[in-house]
Structure 1
Amino acid sequence: MINGSKVLDHPIRWAMVGGGKGSQIGYIHRSAALRDHSFQLAAGAFDIVPERGIAFGRELGVAPDRCYPDYQTMFAAEAGRPDGIEAVSIATPNGTHYAICKAALEAGLHVVCEKPLCFTSAQAEELVSLAKAKNKVVGVTYGYSGHQMIQQARQMIRHGDLGEIRVINMSFAFGGYNVKVEDTVPAARWRFDPEKAGPSFALGDVGTHPLFIIEAMIPDLEIDSLMCTKRAFVEGRQLEDNAFVIMNLKGSTSVQAGAQVYCWASSINCGARHDHKIRIVGSRASLEWDDERPNQMTYEIEGEPVRVLERGAGYLYPEARVEDRIGGGHAEGLFEAWANLYRRFAIAMSGAGQEEYGDFWYPSVESGAQGVKWIEKCVESADHGACWVSFN
């Protein structure tokens, strides 16, 4: 159980690019990173408008001479300081991720990056190689994967409680963009601009979240082929606001050969807050997890009453209880899930403390590259009439 004691001997000196005043995602990053005393916010280039970013940095308590107008200036200046930053989080629009991540790695920094990591597999492979060459950690903020019940599902599948996995049904289909909100909400506007958002909206913005969760639950999952159809229902959008994907999986220790996955990624699901759900169907039993009720997970064995597993309960696998932050029965939410990921990022960066987990993992640069490849393959399939494409 996490009891508030320090994970590291000293907190990692950390900066942010983006995540300025009024940024919801910036606030989540800071709240998560600072939760366990693993990171210290030492510097930042918080806003594309330098004066606004510098003023906001001062509000956060960052020293005035370490509030920078842009990331290039920050990386150069911090490299010359004996107390310079050791890691940086990137909370900027999608189109900037690749350049900032590459520059950070070249500056010898660990990175935490919003998804998507970049726009193309060629860029992703470059970042994977660079991270290895520099011996630096790149974490990708698939924040929902930090919920405790994801770790429980991973252990149940690992121990064979579900049998061989046959079918996976997953969705992230919210309704908030059912009308053209980008006309009145500036923060939504760039998400439908291919130059800033990349080749996809629904698939890249929300579809990659359940994709990574099933990869976390089933580490030996391999996609063999997929078929995708997508479209923009709201007139005037350059990128899709709805997509369906069907995937065939390769056989493995956990997965039956020919297992199938269905994914619905959408922003026009009227009335739905998130509809972010994962259902894993095995030969013995099934699991279902809903991110709007993240502290519970259903466990269904054919012919028996449905069980509802609870976060923090003594019957969970030990690996799933390492990150208990409060006793069972008390609700944990998104801030705790993100804090769990940032704790793992810190442990990966420091190289210490992994043994307490028993099964240590985090969304890595390879995970980010897999998401980029998945988006590419989905777009390829959809652009060729929803044909089947090989994932190799």
Structure 2
Amino acid sequence: MLNGERVIQRPLRWGLVGGGRTSQVGYKHRTGALRDNTAYTLVCGAFDVDAARGRDFGINIGVDGERCYPDYRTLIGEEARRPDGVEVVTVATPNHTHFEITTACLMAGLHVICEKPLFFKMEECREIERLAGDKGLIVGVAYSYSAFPMLLQMRAMVAKGVLGDIRIVDLCYIHGFNSADDSNASEAQRWRTNPATSGPTFVLGDLSTHTYYMSQMVLPHMKVTRLLCDRQSFIKSRAPLEDNAYVLFHYDNGAVGRLWCSSVCAGSMDSQTIRIVGSQGSLIWRDAHPNELWYEVQGRPVQLMSHGMPYLDELSLGSDRMGALHAEGLGDSWSNVYLRLAQAIDAKRRGDQAALDGLIYPGLKDGAEGVRWIENCVRSADAGSVWVDFH
């Protein structure tokens, strides 16, 4: 069980680009990183495209006004001059800026934690992979749902063969908050439906990459080989970006999968479901009830497993924060992601490859896999919703 004790020698000096007053994710990043005050200390930021608003915001959350910068370039330059300068930067900005800011941070010798989707193109992923490798730096991705203890329990049970041979993977991430047009959309929402700032997708990038990564985390031994994507723009002004999509896919072990992502499921609250079906049983996890895992075996009563209980695998118990009597939520998963990334950065700095290899965290290869997922979904949909090889 996690209790906030130190797991690295000292807190990392952390900075935030974006994530200011009007951001939908900035507070989540800060609570995730700072939950364990032994892991990160927020020392600086370029919080907003409006420099005055960003500085005012930074001061109001306790950052020294002198270290509230007007833009990321100034942040990198000024922090490099300090003996106590920033060490790791989170990029919480619109999609079209991710590659540029990540590149600049890596060139300056800074580790990076970036929002998803990571970049627009696989070529950009490969370039960042080369740069991060040359510099010996970690690039993490904010797949914030992925560290719930019961998802790790799924992974452990699959690895132990409890389900038998995996046959079916059924994924869903839906909500109804974009069922109306965008005339009254917030500043943080409008860029998500603009191809210039969002990239080639809306919900496929914004929603489905989360769920796809979670499935890959649960099933690391299985790889997608081909897929078919059908996407729709029910709010016509969003075209060519989709607000609803269906994806069918095949795995290298013969299993099949499907994913539905939508932001126009009117009346639905934010909801993800992951169902893994094997030859001997099934597991179901829902983010609306993240502390529970349903285990089904044909001909037996359904078993409802709860977080924090001693019958769970140590992989799950090692990421539990509240204990069995107390509910955990999304903030706890964010904190787990940030803590694992801090451990990865620490291991990288110490040259401890064994420790790094033993950590489960969303890294650069996982972010690149999300970009590859998006590219292939778009390629399939734009070709008339046909099957394509996953490459």
Q: What's the TM-score, normalizing by structure 2?
A: 0.96
Distance change in 2, residues 1:295/1:70 (3 Å): same
Give the residue type in structure 2 aligned to 1:151. Answer: L
Instruction: State the AA in 1 paired with 2:54.
Output: G
SS of equivalent residue, structure 2 residue 44: strand
How many positions carry a matched residue from both structures?
A: 386
CA deviation after TM superposition for structure 1 residue 4, in Å: 2.1
Tell me which amino acid in the other structure corresponds to 2:365. Answer: E
Q: Does the aligned pair in 1 maintain the 2:344–2:359 contact within 8 Å? A: no
- Residue of structure 1 in register with 2:36 after alignment: 36
Q: SS at 1:146's partner residue?
A: coil
Q: Secondary structure at the match of 2:305?
A: strand
Per the alignment, residue 174 of structure 2 pairs with 173
Q: Distance in 1 between matches of 2:185 and 2:301?
A: 49
CA gap of 1:63–1:92, structure 2 versus 1, over 3 A, is same
Describe the superposition over 1:34-67 as per-residue Cα deviations: whole angstroms up to 9, x where unpaired. 1112000011000001111111111122112111
CA drift at 1:355: 8.4
Aligned partner of 1:242 in structure 2 is 244
CA RMSD of aligned residues (A): 1.6
CA distance in 1, matches of 2:128, 2:211: 23
Whether 1:341 aligns to 2:331 is: no
Residue aligned with 1:277, SS: strand
CA contact (8 A) 1:183 1:189 kept: no
Amino acid at match of 2:264: I
Q: CA deviation at 1:161?
A: 0.6
- The corresponding residue for 2:380 is 381
Q: Per the alignment, in what secondary structure is the counterpart of residue 24 of structure 1?
A: coil
Superposed CA deviations along residues 48-100 of structure 1, whole A, max 9, x for unmatched, are 01111111111122112111000001101111111110000011111111111
Tell me how far apart the structure 1 counterparts of residues 320 and 357 of structure 2 sit (CA, whole Å). Answer: 15
Greater mean alpha carbon deviation, residues 204-213 or residues 178-187: 178-187
What secondary structure is seen at the aligned counterpart in 1 of 2:300?
A: coil
1:32 is displaced (CA, Å) by 0.9
- Conserved? CA contact 1:110–1:349, under 8 Å: yes
Work out whether residues 344 and 356 of structure 2, in 8 Å CA contact, stay in contact via their aligned partners in 1.
no
Distance 1:356 1:286 in 2: 32
Q: Is the Cα–Cα contact under 8 Å of residues 243 and 262 in structure 2 kept in the other structure?
A: yes
The equivalent of 1:255 in structure 2 is: none
Contact 2:32/2:332 (CA < 8 Å) preserved in 1? yes
Secondary structure in structure 1 of the residue aligned to 2:25: helix
Within 5 A, what are the aligned runs for 1:30-179? Answer: 30-37=30-37, 38-179=39-180
Q: CA deviation at 1:288?
A: 0.5
In structure 2, give the amino acid aligned to 1:375: I
Native 8 Å contact 1:322 1:357 kept in 2: no
Q: Residue 146 of structure 2: SS of its match in structure 1?
A: helix
Q: Pick closer, same or farther for the CA change 1:247–1:337 going to 2, 3 Å.
A: same
Q: What secondary structure, in the 3-state scheme, does the structure 1 residue paired with 2:237 have?
A: coil
SS of alignment partner, residue 293 of structure 2: strand
What SS does the aligned partner of 1:144 have?
A: coil
2:271 match: 275
Change (3 A) 1:185 1:382: same
1:151-177, Cα deviation, whole Å (9 max, x unpaired): 100100010011111001101011110
Between 335-344 and 53-62, the greater mean CA deviation after superposition: 53-62
Query: For 1:143, what is the secondary structure of its paired residue?
Result: coil
1:119-139 CA distance string (max 9 Å, x none): 011111111121111111111
How many Å separate the matches in 2 of 1:102 and 1:214? 28
Corresponding residue number in structure 1 for 2:259: 263
Distance in structure 2 (CA, Å) of the matches to 1:292 and 1:355:
35
Q: Which amino acid aligns with 2:43?
A: A
User: Which residue does 2:307 correspond to in 1?
Assistant: 311
Letter in 1 for 2:126: E
- Partner-residue secondary structure (3-state), 2:261: strand
Output the CA distance in 1 between the equivalents of 2:139 and 2:183.
31
Q: CA deviation at 1:275?
A: 2.9
2:249 partner letter: M
Q: Distance in 1 between matches of 2:67 and 2:264?
A: 42
Shift of 1:270: 1.3
Shift of 1:328: 0.5
CA distance in 2, matches of 1:101, 1:164: 40
* Residue pairs, 1:170-319, within 5 angstroms: 170-238=171-239, 239-251=241-253, 258-319=254-315
With over 3 angstroms needed to count, the CA separation of the structure-2 counterparts of 1:358 and 1:90, relative to structure 1, is closer
Q: Name structure 1 gaps, 5 residues minimum.
A: 252-257
Deviates more, 1:151-160 or 1:16-25: 16-25
Mapped partners of 2:378, 2:236: distance in 1 = 19
Corresponding residue for residue 3 of structure 1: 3
Counterparts of 2:219 and 2:356, CA distance in 1: 17
Q: Deviations over 1:83-118 (max 9, x none)?
A: 110000011111111111111111111111100111
Shift in Å at residue 181 of structure 1? Answer: 3.4
**Which 5+ residue runs of structure 2 have no aligned equivalent?**
none
Q: Distance in 2 between matches of 1:132 and 1:145?
A: 25
Task: Summarize the Cα distance change of 1:301–1:208 in structure 2 as closer, same or farther, 3 Å threshold.
Answer: same
> Partner letter of residue 36 of structure 1?
D
Aligned with 1:236: secondary structure? helix
Tell me, in whole angstroms, the C-alpha distance in 2 between the residues paired with 1:381 and 1:160.
33
For residues 293 and 355 of structure 1, what CA distance do their matches in structure 2 show?
A: 34
In structure 2, give the amino acid aligned to 1:2.
L
- The answer as to whether partners of 1:347 and 1:354 remain within 8 angstroms in 2 is no
In 2, are the aligned partners of 1:228 and 1:381 still within 8 Å (CA)?
yes
